[in-house]
């Protein structure tokens, strides 16, 4: 079997178009402009790139984008004061604190100081609890993007065997919870899992979120399974020229694509969906804050 390639770039463009449509309706019918505030502490180059593209795409869908770039030495008290101000700002509907934070800041304390209703990353302990009990919550962006692609491809995933490789709070655990909430039979595999190959071979759906380049070979994949590759790993690529690199996922794409029914590529799969889902979460948060109907298909 040769897998269908799930085009995350195209899918993300469709999600952003839906968000833009809803934003325009909010403006026209209610005079409301959804606002997203992104807080960056320090000058981590990768974080700066993410924050820039988040701001650009926020504006492109018609929302208000506010960026707070703080010095790497910013104290916890100052950061908490900023979050308090944003929590109380009626023009801000989503707040995102770019991770990782400098070591002197307590990440859990900071994340849990964002108002849960504005927590568009879905990392606040209240949102984790709501998701875990199958209640309406803000859902972490990367797993939400994976879920959207799975629902789009399969219609329903009820009763399917799903294996999530990785148990991080950001991807693995919320992904497993979302699959469970959609009635899949879910196994969470991790660094201590015995005979991972055997576990993966049983899966109709494999979500790999490990951070190890091409660690899942094709012969682990059940014929016809759907493979969602969350991993982003940069490898040296001397064949492209000196100092050049290339991105690969956590699955070995060529061999997995020979057996899978559908697969996401890296780059161009899960990656583009993450920011699209951040925008979707912001418009959802805005609708909830104003007691208005949420857009269809943009949340779990």
Q: Which of 128, 206, 270, 278 binds ligand NAD (CB under 6 A)?
A: 270
Q: Which of 222, 262, 185, 246 is nearest to 2 (CA)?
A: 262
Select from 74, 142, 226, 284 the one that contacts ligand NAD (CB under 6 A): 142
CB of 215 to ligand NAD, least distance (A): 6
Stretch of residues binding ligand NAD (CB under 6 A), selected from 68-76, 89-97, 130-138, 187-195: 187-195
By beta-carbon proximity to ligand NAD, the closer residue of 35 and 172 is: 172
Catalytic residue among 18, 118, 121, 250: 121
For the CB of residue 221, give the shortest distance to ligand NAD in the complex, in Å.
15
Residue in 122, 166, 174, 295 binding ligand NAD, rule: CB under 6 A:
166
Q: How far is the CB of 229 from ligand NAD (least distance, A)?
A: 9
Residue 150 within binding range of ligand NAD, rule CB under 6 A: no
DSSP structure class, residue 295: P
Per CB under 6 A, the list member of 165, 179, 203, 257 interacting with ligand NAD is 165
Where does 141-251 show beta strands of DSSP type E? 161-165, 185-189, 205-208, 226-229, 233-236, 245-248
Question: Considering only residues 229-268, where is the footprint of ligand NAD by CB under 6 A?
Answer: 230-233
Task: Answer yes or no whether residue 295 interacts with ligand NAD by CB under 6 A.
Answer: no
Helix (H), strand (E) counts: the chain: 10, 11
**Cα(14)–Cα(20) distance, integer angstroms:** 10
Q: Does 277 bind ligand NAD (CB under 6 A)?
A: no
Which of 18, 54, 118, 222 is catalytic? The answer is 54
DSSP 219: G
Question: Cβ closer to ligand NAD: 158 or 191?
Answer: 191
Q: Please tell me the count of residues contacting ligand NAD according to CB under 6 A.
A: 24
Helix axes 172-181, 125-132, angle to 10 degrees: 30
Sole window of 24-32, 33-41, 60-68, 191-199 interacting with ligand NAD (rule: CB under 6 A): 191-199
Q: Are 6 and 262 in contact (CB under 8 A)?
A: yes
Write out the two tokens for 251.
Answer: 């699955």
Strands (DSSP E) found in 237-276: 245-248, 262-263
Report, in Å, the least distance between residue 186 CB and ligand NAD: 15
Rg (CA), the chain: 19
Confirm whether 121 is a catalytic residue. yes
Site for ligand NAD in 198-227 (CB under 6 A): 209-212
Q: Indicate the DSSP class of residue 251.
A: B
Give the alpha-carbon dihedral of 49, 35, 59, 146, to 10 degrees: 60
Question: Which has the closest alpha carbon to 280: 17, 31, 50, 48?
Answer: 17
Catalytic residues: 54, 98, 121
Name the site residues for ligand NAD (rule: CB under 6 A): 142, 165-168, 170-172, 189-191, 193, 196, 209-212, 230-233, 270-271, 274
């Amino acid at each position: 079997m040769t897998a269908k390639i799930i085009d995350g770039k195209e899918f993300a463009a469709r999600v952003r178009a839906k968000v833009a449509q809803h934003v325009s309706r909010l403006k026209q019918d209610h005079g409301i402009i959804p606002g997203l505030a992104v807080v960056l502490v320090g000058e981590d180059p990768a974080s700066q790139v993410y924050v820039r593209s988040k701001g650009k795409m926020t504006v492109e869908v018609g929302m208000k984008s506010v960026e707070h770039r703080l010095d790497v030495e910013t104290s916890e008290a100052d950061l908490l004061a900023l979050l308090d101000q944003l929590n109380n700002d009626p023009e801000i509907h989503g707040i995102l604190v770019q991770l990782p934070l400098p070591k002197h800041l307590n990440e859990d304390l900071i994340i849990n100081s964002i108002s849960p209703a504005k927590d568009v990353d879905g990392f606040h302990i209240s949102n984790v609890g709501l998701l875990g009990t199958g209640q309406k919550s803000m859902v972490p962006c990367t797993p939400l993007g994976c879920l959207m692609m799975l629902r789009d491809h399969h219609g329903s995933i009820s009763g399917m065997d799903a294996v999530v490789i990785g148990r991080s709070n950001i991807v693995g655990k919320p992904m497993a919870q979302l699959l469970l909430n959609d009635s899949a039979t879910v196994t969470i595999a991790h660094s201590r899992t015995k005979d991972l190959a055997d576990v993966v071979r049983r899966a109709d759906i494999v979500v790999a979120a490990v951070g190890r380049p091409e660690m899942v070979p094709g012969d682990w994949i059940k014929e016809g399974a759907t493979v969602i590759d969350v991993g982003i790993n940069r490898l040296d690529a001397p064949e492209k020229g000196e100092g050049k690199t290339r991105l690969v996922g956590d699955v070995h794409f060529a061999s997995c694509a020979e057996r899978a029914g559908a697969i996401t590529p890296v780059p161009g799969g899960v990656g583009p969906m993450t920011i699209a889902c951040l925008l979707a979460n912001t418009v959802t948060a805005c609708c909830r804050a104003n007691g208005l109907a949420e857009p269809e298909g943009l949340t779990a």
